[in-house]
Structure 1
Amino acid sequence: MSEINFRIVVRIIGFLLCFQALFMLLPLGVAIYYNESDIFAFLTTIIITASVGTFSIFLFKKHNNQMGKREGFLIVSTSWIFFSLFGMLPFLINGDIKNVTDAFFETISGFTTTGATILDNIESLPHGMLFWRSLIQWLGGMGIILFTLAVLPMLNSGGGIQLFNAEVPGITHDKLRPRISETAKRLWGIYLSITALLVILLVLGPMNFFDAVCHALTTTATGGYSTKQNSIAYWDSAYIEYVIIIFMLISGINFSLVYHAALGDYKKLLQDEEARWFLLVVLLATIAISGGLFISGQTYGGIEPTIRTALFQVSSCITTTGFATADFTKWGSFFSVVIFCIMFFGACAGSTSGGAKTIRMVVVLKNTANEFYRHLHPNAIVPVRINRRVISYDLVSKILAFLFVYVLVMAISALILSALGMTFEEAFGCTLSCLSNVGPGFGKMSSDFSFETIPALGKWVLSFDMLIGRLELFTVLILFTPYFWKKS
Structure 2
Amino acid sequence: MQYRNITRILGMLVMILSSTMLPPGLVSLIYRDGGGVAFMTAFLLCLSAGFFAWYPNRAQKGDLRAREGFLIVVLFWTVLASFSSVPLMLTETPNLSITDAFFESFSGLTTTGATILTQIDGLPHAVLWYRQQLQWIGGMGIIVLAVAVLPMLGVGGMQLYRAETPGPVKDSKMTPRIADTAKHLWYIYLSLTIACALCYWLAGMSGFDAISHSFSTIAIGGFSTHDASMGYFDSTLINMICVFFLVIAGVNFALHYTAWASKSFRTYFFDPEFKTFISIQVVLTLICFFSLLIYGVESNFEQAFDDAIFQAVSISTTAGFATTNFSQWPAMLPILLIFASFIGGCAGSTGGGMKVMRVVLLYLQGIRELSRLIHPKAIITIKLGQKALPDKVVDAIWGFFSAYAAIFIICMVLLMASGIDEITAFTAVAACLNNLGPGLGEVAANFASINDFSKWVLIIAMLFGRLEIFTLLVLFMPAFWRN
TM-score class normalised by the smaller sequence: over 0.9
Choose which of 116, 119, 123 in structure 1 pairs with 2:117.
119
SS of alignment partner, residue 24 of structure 1? helix
Tell me which residue corresponds to 1:454: 450
Q: Retained in 1: the 8 A contact 2:289–2:308? A: yes
Choose which of 216, 219, 224 in structure 2 pairs with 1:218.
216
SS of alignment partner, residue 419 of structure 2? coil
Choose which of 309, 312, 324 in structure 2 pairs with 1:311.
309
Tell me which residue corresponds to 1:473: 469
SS of alignment partner, residue 363 of structure 1? helix
Tell me which residue corresponds to 2:321: 323
Q: Distance in 2 between matches of 1:291 and 1:230?
A: 25
Q: Retained in 2: the 8 A contact 1:72–1:159? A: no
- Residues 1:367 and 2:365 aligned together: yes
Q: CA distance change for structure 1 residues 59 and 207 in 2, over 3 Å: closer, same or farther?
A: same
Q: Shift of residue 36 of structure 1?
A: 2.8
- CA deviations 1:71-112 (Å, max 9, x no partner) are 111110011111111111111111223211000000000000
Tell me which residue corresponds to 2:297: 298
Please give the root-mean-square deviation of Cα atoms over the aligned residues, in Å. 1.2
Q: Distance in 2 between matches of 1:185 and 1:427?
A: 40
Residue identity in the other structure for 2:268: L
Tell me which residue corresponds to 2:146: 148
Residue identity in the other structure for 1:303: F
Choose which of 23, 36, 39 in structure 2 pairs with 1:39.
36
Mapping for residues 80-119 of structure 1, pairs under 5 Å: 80-95=77-92, 96-119=94-117
Mapping for residues 157-168 of structure 1, pairs under 5 Å: 158-168=155-165
Q: Distance in 1 between matches of 2:190 and 2:149?
A: 15
Gaps of 5+ in 2: none
SS of alignment partner, residue 383 of structure 2? strand
- CA deviations 1:186-234 (Å, max 9, x no partner) are 0000000000011111001221000000000000000000000110001
Q: Which moved more, 1:458-467 or 1:13-22?
A: 13-22
Q: Retained in 1: the 8 A contact 2:219–2:351? A: yes
Residue identity in the other structure for 1:150: A
Mapping for residues 406-421 of structure 1, pairs under 5 Å: 406-421=404-419
SS of alignment partner, residue 388 of structure 2? strand
Tell me which residue corresponds to 1:273: 272
Choose which of 342, 345, 348 in structure 2 pairs with 1:344.
342
Tell me which residue corresponds to 1:199: 197
Q: Which moved more, 1:466-475 or 1:418-427?
A: 418-427
- Residues 1:69 and 2:63 aligned together: no
Q: Retained in 2: the 8 A contact 1:68–1:159? A: no
Q: Which moved more, 1:196-205 or 1:415-424?
A: 415-424
Q: Distance in 2 between matches of 1:238 and 1:396?
A: 42
User: How does the TM-score come out when normalised to structure 2?
Assistant: 0.97
Residue identity in the other structure for 1:267: R
Q: Distance in 2 between matches of 1:56 and 1:267?
A: 49
Q: Retained in 2: the 8 A contact 1:5–1:64? A: no
Q: Shift of residue 240 of structure 1?
A: 0.4
Q: Distance in 1 between matches of 2:54 and 2:423?
A: 46
Q: Distance in 2 between matches of 1:396 and 1:59?
A: 45
Q: Shift of residue 154 of structure 1?
A: 4.1
Q: Distance in 2 between matches of 1:29 and 1:158?
A: 32
Residue identity in the other structure for 1:13: L
Q: Distance in 2 between matches of 1:283 and 1:236?
A: 23
Q: Retained in 2: the 8 A contact 1:320–1:343? A: yes
- CA deviations 1:27-84 (Å, max 9, x no partner) are 1111121123211111111111111111211121221412111111111001111111
Q: Distance in 2 between matches of 1:107 and 1:134?
A: 11
Residue identity in the other structure for 1:79: F
Q: Shift of residue 265 of structure 1?
A: 2.3
Q: Retained in 1: the 8 A contact 2:163–2:471? A: yes
Tell me which residue corresponds to 2:132: 134
- CA deviations 1:115-136 (Å, max 9, x no partner) are 0000011112111111010001
Q: Distance in 2 between matches of 1:265 and 1:11?
A: 43
SS of alignment partner, residue 217 of structure 1? helix
Tell me which residue corresponds to 2:5: 8
Q: Distance in 2 between matches of 1:168 and 1:97?
A: 35
Residue identity in the other structure for 1:209: G
Q: Distance in 2 between matches of 1:12 and 1:154?
A: 13
Q: Retained in 1: the 8 A contact 2:347–2:355? A: yes
Residue identity in the other structure for 1:17: V
SS of alignment partner, residue 64 of structure 2? coil
Q: Distance in 1 between matches of 2:221 and 2:394?
A: 29
- CA deviations 1:210-269 (Å, max 9, x no partner) are 000000000000000000011000111001000000000000000111223344221221
Residue identity in the other structure for 1:210: F
Tell me which residue corresponds to 2:177: 179
SS of alignment partner, residue 33 of structure 2? coil
Q: Shift of residue 144 of structure 1?
A: 0.8
Gaps of 5+ in 1: none
Tell me which residue corresponds to 2:426: 428
Q: Retained in 1: the 8 A contact 2:316–2:338? A: no
Mapping for residues 20-39 of structure 1, pairs under 5 Å: 20-39=17-36
Choose which of 50, 53, 66 in structure 2 pairs with 1:53.
50
Tell me which residue corresponds to 1:169: 166
SS of alignment partner, residue 19 of structure 1? helix
Q: Retained in 2: the 8 A contact 1:5–1:66? A: no
Q: Shift of residue 158 of structure 1?
A: 4.0
Residue identity in the other structure for 2:461: D
Q: Distance in 2 between matches of 1:425 and 1:382?
A: 41
Residue identity in the other structure for 2:157: G
Q: Distance in 1 between matches of 2:151 and 2:208?
A: 34
Q: Distance in 2 between matches of 1:97 and 1:136?
A: 19
Q: Retained in 1: the 8 A contact 2:344–2:351? A: yes
Tell me which residue corresponds to 2:254: 256
User: How does the TM-score come out when normalised to structure 1?
Assistant: 0.96
Q: Distance in 2 between matches of 1:39 and 1:334?
A: 45
- CA deviations 1:409-451 (Å, max 9, x no partner) are 11111111111221111101010100000001211221xx210
- CA deviations 1:124-172 (Å, max 9, x no partner) are 21111110100010000011111111122247x7441110011110011
Residue identity in the other structure for 2:35: D
